[in-house]
Amino acid sequence: MDDKIRNEAQEWKGKAKEQMGDMTDDERMQAEGKSEEMSGKAKNMGEKAKDKASEMGQKAKDAMNM
């Protein structure tokens, strides 16, 4: 759960940084913000995939024990 919160925070921090770059016409800040946002999104997707795989594994295990 902590990883999900951390990843979500990274995503929002990146969005804020990108918007700050937009407002100040700072292309470097825009790029850094977009990079942080995408990194957070990718990590969240990885966490979701890991959770789904674990869930499917548990279902398969339960089905074999029936």
Running DSSP on this structure, what letter comes out for residue 25? T
Q: What is the largest CA-CA distance in the chain?
A: 62
Confidence class of residue 1 from pLDDT cuts 50, 70 and 90? Answer: low
Q: What is the pLDDT of residues 19-64, one digit of tens each?
A: 999 999 999 999 999 999 999 999 999 999 999 999 999 998 888 8
Quick one: DSSP state of residue 65?
Answer: T
Q: Which is more confidently placed, 66 or 37? A: 37
- If one counts the domains in the chain, the total is 1
Boundaries of domain holding 48: 2-64
Q: What is the pLDDT of residue 3?
A: 87
